[in-house]
Amino acid sequence: MKTIVITGANKGVGLALVKHFISDFKVVALSRSYDNLINIKSDNLTFHRVDISDLSRLKDVFESITNIDYLINCAAVFESQTLLKQSFDKVEEIIDVNLKGTLFTTKLTLDKMKKGRIVNISSVSGLHGIENQSVYSSTKHSLNGLQESLNFELIKKGIQVTNINPGGINTPLWNKNNPYNGDLNKLLTPEDIVKTVKFILDFREGVVIKNITLFPDNEIH
């Protein structure tokens, strides 16, 4: 049975990914909290309470993992706010989790991955700037550079990297931190992202899928 590591696994898209893949994969779920994960009863699930920006703790977690076939970088911090009004603490948190945490997790994964796929849940904010998302957009733009560079570095090793760039998703992260004046029923769902990840993981070896962008038809990108 193959092993898949999922970050940000306790809520929203991450939790939906865990629930989908738990029947066919050994799932290693990483999250800062675990109140939802603890309710999933499966021998295929191992979860660790960890902040992926805490490198020392993250290294301890990865020492317990022997082999990784797939990594889904899903953990993220988001706040809709102008740079002028955003606190330095929040700026630091967004950078630490979205950028540093993703880099740390990916680097540690590569030590355990012989071949496979890495999927970064990025954002349309990583393709162009969006008002009130200066810091968040900066971190998501960085994932484009990460994906491009890693594909050059890893292609001969049989490891491919893909960014998924979704628009608005109806999750607690979005609803808590981004007032939405449109039709909530138009937003993407976590299940839309699960289907996209599954499409990538099911694709035959040797094919690089660099980016997939999807968004509701009431958004313009």
The per-residue pLDDT for range 82-119, each reduced to its tens digit, is 999 999 999 999 999 999 999 999 999 999 999 999 99
Residue 89 vs residues 79, 81, 94, 135, 164: alpha-carbon distances, Å: 12, 13, 9, 12, 27
pLDDT for res 88: 98
Measured on CA atoms in the order 185, 186, 190, 196, is the torsion positive or negative? Answer: positive
The CATH fold assigned to 3-214 is Rossmann fold (3.40.50)
pLDDT for res 19: 97
**CA 80, CA 25: separation in Å to the nearest integer?**
35
The pTM of the full predicted model, rounded to 2 decimals, is 0.95
pLDDT for res 185: 80
pLDDT for res 184: 74
SS3 category, 48 = strand
Q: Which segments of the chain have a pLDDT < 70?
A: 172-182
